[in-house]
Structure 1
Amino acid sequence: MPLVGFVFSLCRCCNKCGGEMHQRQKKNGAALKSYFTLSLLVICIFISFGIIYGFVANQHIRTHIEKTRKLSESNFNDLRTLLNATPGQIDYVLDQYTTTKARAFSDLDNIKLLLGDGIFKQLKPRVVPVLDDIKAMAEEIQETRETLVEVNSILTDMRQLSANLSNSLSNVKGNLEQALTDPMCSVHPVMTTCSNIMNSLSLLDGSIDFDQLPSLDEQIGNLNDILQTNLSSLVQKGYRSFNAIPGMVQNETVNVVSDVKMTLDSIGSDIKNISKNIPIQDKLSNFIRYLNDTENYIHRHLPTLEEYDSYRWLGSLVVCCLLTLIVIFYFLGLLCGTYGYNQNATPTRRGCVSNTGGIFLMVGVGFSFFFCWLLMTIVVLTFVVGGNVEKLVCEPYQNKMLFQVLDTPYLLNANWKYYLSGMVFNKPDIHLTFEQVYSDCKENKGIYATLKLENTYNISEHLSIKEHTGNINNNFENMNIRIDNIVLLDEAGRRNLMNFSSSGIDKIDYGAFMAATGKNPTKVNLLSFANDLEVKANHLPPGNLKQTLKNNAGILRNIHRDEIIPLQKLMSAVHQKLKELQQKSSGLGVKVANIIRFLDSAQDFITNRISTIIAEESKKYGNTIISYFEHYLQWVKISITEQMAACKPVATALDSAIDVFLCSYIIDPLNLFWFGIGKATAFLLPAIIFAVKLAKYYRRMDSEDVYDDDVETIPMKKYGKCQYWFS
């Protein structure tokens, strides 16, 4: 480009290559000027965009280089946290065995509630209802006896009241018969009234003879004999015997609980020894050395990098400023030429501003020739570096093709199939690849699973539940719990129930009692009889007869109030109690037989099935204890193999070094820089052409074409002060 510019300058000095200061008049001259102006303006705008890209990319690199120290420190802090926190994580996971053991010890100490109550609840549905029925039957015996005694007492009172009522009615009847012998009864119409009263006196008698009712003394005597045996006490004894099962279980399992606790203590010692054999800490310890060396190297060379970057920044700034200067000359030329151009002025009489615009354009052309080679060289160099690193490192890293290349067998070491496994385990045949390690770390998996440390120490074998809990299973399977001498109801209680069923309660003549107590104590309602007697007395003439009848009517009312009503209340009470007793005693023999049958069934169930229930509940209880350790060991396994020492900081550090620092901080801005500068440089070439063409229209010419409008147009050239006419 400088050579071409030199030749171009010599050519113009010889009045060639547009160097002649003469502008020929053309019909499309105005259109060409506008075309050249617009084209150069558009080109300058494109060049300006390229320059802006260059400035932005240059500053972007500088800004992010300044962030490199903070980025590296953040990643190193994360890596050190990973290295320093891992031993504490291992200890924390293994120390949680104490919590699991405490939970198991708590259950062992509460074996009475957990195992004993489990056995108790299995038997309860078959036993407790029978004992409840027997208890209810014992209460029923007592209530029946009390009811019969009360009824018998009421019957005595009723007989007494009935006898008194009969005497009272007999006295009233005698008084009325004597009163009706009065002489007035022979006088008509009093005779008719007396006759009617005499005929109704037969109704003044009692309607019930309570002495005819059967006696209840025999049944009461039978119940008294039955109550000699305290059935309620026997039932409570059965309750206590049954409720003692949890306590018996606790007493029978003292030795088993002690053996299981010893086994759990030994498991704790085995689990704590695992932490010493897990190779995670060893692998991380080797990594600490590489980490320290890398950190020291970065801290040692980072100031040098920042110093060199300042030189790069300054050089790139100079390049962008050179391009900016060229574009400024072009813009000034366009500005001065456009605003200073006078359409009416001839080429030799153009103004100073227009001429200055043309000079600015030619200066821009001169600078373009002078510096374009340098810009091209810089574009080529930055393109070679940025483009190749982008295609060979950045893109393969993002799509993981770079890892596939590194994982190619025997590539990094001719004697090793897999380089990473050979470096980590010294076993190059283990399929451990960079891509797999990076992907696992990206997913924040643990070092154990990522580096496949099971090839060194298989933790699954050492955390096998069978290895640690086999003795516990044996202890619970061989546990011998003897629960004997559970008697729900002894023979005395059974005889008591049988005696109650044959006590005759259900054979009482309830019908006779119901009929007797359901009647009215008298043949006639005494109140109605007294009222009728008083009405008849009121129709009689005054005298002794009338007064006697009224007095007896009052006596009958008093008898009803003082004797009939109390007797009716007693009869109603007896009627209700015997009715309830009849309902309770209905089917008494069947009820007792059913209770005895259910009692025998429950007793047989306890005797024959309790051993099976004990075995089932013991197995369930043992599985509960073991499940604590199954869950704990499973959690330990998952924590160590998948969660502990999560290696995402490693993937993040690698991403920071390659994807962020190299690609985002340096290569991407570098590619933007060569793209912007290259774009601007490429547009400098057409800009030179259009600037040279356009300068002809802005600069003041030495000669011009002259036309005579009156004659045939003859062009004229003017050279200095001499004019030549030629056709």
Structure 2
Amino acid sequence: MALLLGFLLLLLELCGNTLSLGSRSSTEGTEVLELQLPATNYETKDSYKAGPIGGLFQIVHIFLRVVQPNDFPEDILRKILQKKFDLSTDYEKIIYYEIGVIICAVLGLLFVILMPLVGCCFGLCRCCNKCGGEMHQRQKKNGPFLRKCFAVSLLVISIFISIGIIYGFVANHHLRAQIEKTRKLADSNFRDLRTLLNGAPAEISYILSQYTTTKEKAFSDLDNVKSLLGGGIHEQLRPKVIPALDDIKAMAEAIKETKEALLNVNNTLKELKKSSAQLNTSLSDVKRDLEQSLNDPMCSAPPVATTCNNIRTSLSQLDDNTNMDQLPSLDKPIDKINDILQTNLSSLVQQGYKSFNDIPEMVENQTTDIISDVKSTLNSIGSDIESIGEQIPIQDQLSNFMGYINDTETYIRRNLPTLEEYDSYSGAGVSFLICWILMTIVVLTFVVGANVEKLLCEPYQNRKLFQVLDTPYLLNENWKHYLSGMVFNKPDINLTFEQVYSDCKENKGIYGTLKLENSYNISEHLNIQEHAGNISNDFQNMKVNIDNIVLLDEAGRKNLMDFSFSGIDAINYNIYLAELSKAPTKGNLLSFADDLEVKANHLPHGSLKQSLKNNAQTIRTIHRSEVIPLEQSMSSVYQSIKELQQKSSGLGMKVTNTLSSLDSAQDFLTTRISSVIVEESQKYGNTIVGYFERYLQWVKISITEKIAACKPVATALDSAVDVFLCSYIIDPMNLFWFGIGKATVFLLPALIFAVKLAKHYRRMDSEDVYEEFPPS
């Protein structure tokens, strides 16, 4: 119990010295972004396994539960502690709780008392030739059977005695082996405690230093106000403004494309008219030549006359099928487009783009003073944090506790050899003491070991011991909660040993474990409004004036309206399409030429036949050199006019929609830009302030949950009570008395059977002899 209280006081000492640590770090700041505290590694294991011998320990525990089946006496222990260990008033309850241990101890003491007495009586009895001392052997018929029974019984009992002695030797060896590990265990725990104490100031310094990272990130965003704030405003307006400008830009391109299309169609039409006139001339010449050839005298005599008449009636196929001259010229629409193009609409649109894209730069120019003020505020906060770190001497605060650890370690190192020396005496002599002295040792170790196991080890493992220590007004009649009275001198704060141990076991920070907010409320000192309120005010009062953004001036608007009234959509495109869809000639010249040549081949040789064949060849040449190019040109112009018709279709509505979109975008800029600026300014300011909010939140979490994580304290307490006292000492001690006690108890029947068995092997002065005679 004294060892347990000593380690609890060690925890209290750590609490007192880390109180200032928590207050110090709480006024500093926490990191921002993805910052983490460096991991701290401890070498002491937080669990202990006894190994194969653990099964034997469990057997002893089961035996103790049979001997001592009662629950942990929390109420009795509380009353004993409250009455300063005065046992007079509750002795009946204590006896009831200890009845199993008392009975076993009484039986042991009876064995201690009666064993030498019975042995003395037995010796005196034998000296009087009684109790088997008579040197005369009486033979019995069942003698061989009794001898075998006594021998087997003695063997079985000897085996049980040997097992008990083996338990004792195993316990003794395990105790020695574990005592040898005690130095390493103690050194490991002290190194972990030093790591805890030395690491706390370093962690605080690390947290303070990370303010620079936060500030640098904030400065980076402040320097990029053009892209972050200005760009944010620009992106908010972009979906409404850019489509309108894109429509105007597309309309400007459409005007240029329309002019080019009109020029191309107009020029091509002129070429078509010339080509059509040339084709008409060529066909007229061929037709005239054929008419002259058909005036040949041979055409008057049958059957040639019939052929000539057929040719004469088909000459209409050589007539021109088009009338290109009737197609009106496109010069007037082209002149109107040229007038419209006197105003450079594309340049006006680019000015609108530029005016809109200059918003980020305008924001940057107008926020220069505010950005400078915010940077000054951030620098002043950094100076405050640095001064806080310089004003709190953490190392001085922890030096006393470090000295306490050094003193404790020195004490353990000085006294550990003595413990090891005592252990060597147990191994050398205990196993060879006589049985009744062994039983004395068994009784003493049983009483001590059983009570320590049931009153300290088990309640420590299930934490009922902490619940007893947490009883209000138990350790100090004036304090409701002893631990809070020690730490804060405020015993009404609900701070318990069980909660502190559990939190340390989970490696939580000292600040949250000891509820140091009752002494120094870190949340109040890490209030963002206290440290960075001016930053929020600066951004809330930010005024950005973005006026006079004109997407398209009146000249551009007039230009669009002039284009809509240019008459392009009023051109009668159907006339052009109807004329251009015709074939250049009324008949197919190749078919006509082939038919003419076939007919000529049926005529008799002469000038008529040759003239007709020459004209057929001429017609083929006209088709190849004039008709085919004309057809291709007509088809190309047909497609161009078709496309021009589609582009000009609904031109007025397109221009109206474009101007409507422009007016909507311009109105949006006029009415909404101020609210967009406010919204984006708040978002930008919240981003900057958010860095510090997350930084201070990280500081709060680190100080309350991570800095000076007290797992080494819980581990040290476990090492002292659960490992060293209970596992290293009490478990082997209990196994020792269990084994030696069992061997000693079985020694009594062993002596009885040994005496009985010896009777059958002793050399007697006389004996009864019975001879068996065969039946007559």
TM-score normalised according to structure 1 size: 0.88
Distance 1:710 1:396, change over 3 A: closer
1:94 matched to 2:208: yes
Question: Counterpart in 1 of 2:348?
Answer: 234
Q: 2:446 aligns with which of 380, 383, 388?
A: 383
Q: Return the letter of the residue paired with 2:282.
A: S
Corresponding residue for 1:56?
A: 170
Give the partner amino acid of 2:587.
V
Which residue of 2 is the match for residue 570 of structure 1?
A: 633
| Root-mean-square deviation (Å) | 1.9
Show CA shifts across 1:579-627 (max 9, x none).
0000111111111111011110111001111111111111111111122
Query: What residue number does 1:157 align with?
Result: 271
**Matched residue, 1:221:** 335
Q: Provide the C-alpha distance between the structure 2 equivalents of 1:181 and 1:304, rounded to a whole number of angstroms.
A: 156
Check conservation: 2:218, 2:688, Cα contact below 8 A: yes
Q: Return the offset for 1:708.
A: 5.5
Alignment of 1:666-685 (within 5 A): 666-685=729-748
TM superposition shift of 1:179: 1.3
Q: Are residues 220 and 238 of structure 1, via their aligned partners in 2, closer, same or farther at CA, if it must alter by over 3 Å?
A: same
Distance 2:766 2:550 in 1: 143
Residue in structure 2 matching 1:615, options 678, 695, 713: 678
- Match in the other structure for 1:199: 313
Conserved 8 A contact 1:278-1:457: no
Partner of 2:556: 493
Alignment-mate amino acid for residue 623 of structure 2: H
Conservation of the 8 A alpha-carbon contact between 2:226 and 2:363? yes
The offset of 1:12, in angstroms, is 1.1
Tell me, in whole angstroms, the C-alpha distance in 1 between the residues paired with 2:178 and 2:303.
Answer: 145
CA distance in 1, matches of 2:332, 2:684: 57
**What's the counterpart of residue 141 of structure 1?**
255
Cα separation, 2, equivalents of 1:574 and 1:89: 84
| Cα distance, 1:307 vs structure 2 | 2.1
Q: Is the 8 A contact 1:537 1:550 kept in 2?
A: yes
Q: Which residue number corresponds to residue 212 of structure 1?
A: 326
How many angstroms does 1:271 deviate by?
3.3
Query: Residue in 2 aligned with 1:353?
Result: none
The answer as to whether partners of 1:417 and 1:428 remain within 8 angstroms in 2 is yes
- Match of residue 68 from structure 1: 182
Which of these residues, 575, 589, 593, is aligned with residue 530 of structure 1?
593
For the 8 Å contact 2:482–2:491, the answer to whether it is kept is yes
Match of 1:440 among 503, 511, 514: 503
- Identity among equivalent positions (%) equals 72
Shift of 1:639: 0.5
Offset at 1:273?
A: 4.6
Aligned to 1:603: 666
Q: Distance in 2 between matches of 1:155 and 1:386?
A: 122
Which range moved further: 309-318 or 245-254? Answer: 309-318
Contact 2:316 2:586 (C-alpha < 8 Å) held by counterparts: no
Match of 1:171 in 2: 285
Counterpart code for 2:265 = V
Deviations 1:394-447 (A, max 9, x none): 222222232233333333334433332333333333332222221111111111
Cα distance per residue 1:446-499 (max 9 Å; x no partner): 111122211221111101122223211111111111111211111111111111
- Residue correspondences, number: 661
Alignment of 1:243 onto 2:324: no
Using a 3 Å threshold, how does the CA distance of structure 1 residues 674 and 14 change in structure 2: closer, same or farther? same
- Looking at structure 1, the residues matched to 319 and 773 of structure 2 have their Cα atoms a distance apart, in angstroms, of 177
User: Which of 4, 26, 34 is the equivalent residue of 2:148?
Assistant: 34
| 1:589 aligned residue | 652
- Is residue 204–residue 523 contact of structure 1 (8 Å, CA) maintained in 2? yes
Per-residue deviation at 1:391?
2.2
Correspondent of 1:625 among 683, 688, 704 = 688
Match of 1:114 among 205, 224, 228: 228
Write the deviation string for residues 637-692 of structure 1: whole angstroms up to 9, x where unpaired. Answer: 01001110011111111111111111111111111111111111100111111111
1:2 and 2:130 correspond? no
Please state how far the C-alpha of 1:201 moved relative to its aligned partner: 2.1
User: What whole-Å deviation, never above 9, does each CA across 1:526-546 have from its counterpart, x for those lacking one?
Assistant: 111111111111111111111
User: 2 CA distance for matches of 1:425 and 1:281?
Assistant: 21
Q: 1-side partners of 2:564 and 2:392: how far apart?
A: 78
The match for 1:555 among 618, 638, 656 is 618
Which shows bigger deviation, 416-425 or 21-30?
416-425
AA aligned to 1:134 is I
User: CA separation of 1:277/1:442 partners in 2, compared to 1, >3 Å: closer, same or farther?
Assistant: farther
Secondary structure, aligned partner of 2:760 = helix
Structure 1 position 473 matched with structure 2 position 587: no
1:132 counterpart = 2:259: no
Contact 1:279 1:457 in 2 (8 A): no
Query: 1:539: which partner in 2?
Result: 602
The 8 Å contact of residues 226 and 499 in structure 1, kept in 2 or not, is answered as yes
Aligned residues of 1:280 and 1:448 also touching (Cα < 8 A) = no
Match of 2:759 among 684, 688, 696: 696
8 Å Cα contact 1:12-1:18 kept in structure 2: yes
Amino acid at match of 1:171: D
Larger radius of gyration: 1
After superposition, give the CA deviation of every residue in 1:319-348 in whole Å (9 maximum; x if it has no partner): 3xxxxxxxxxxxxxxxxxxxxxxxxxxxxx
TM-superposed deviation, 1:211: 1.1
Shift of 1:283: 6.2
- Residue pair 1:501, 1:588 contacting (<8 A) in 2 also: yes
2:193 corresponding residue in structure 1: 79
CA contact (8 A) 1:279 1:456 kept: no
Q: What is the Cα deviation at residue 282 of structure 1?
A: 6.9
Matched residue, 1:402: 465
Deviation at 1:711, TM superposition (A): 12
Q: Is 1:188 the equivalent of 2:302?
A: yes
* Change over 3 Å in CA distance of 1:709–1:297 after alignment to 2: closer
The answer to whether the 8 Å contact 2:590/2:620 transfers is: yes
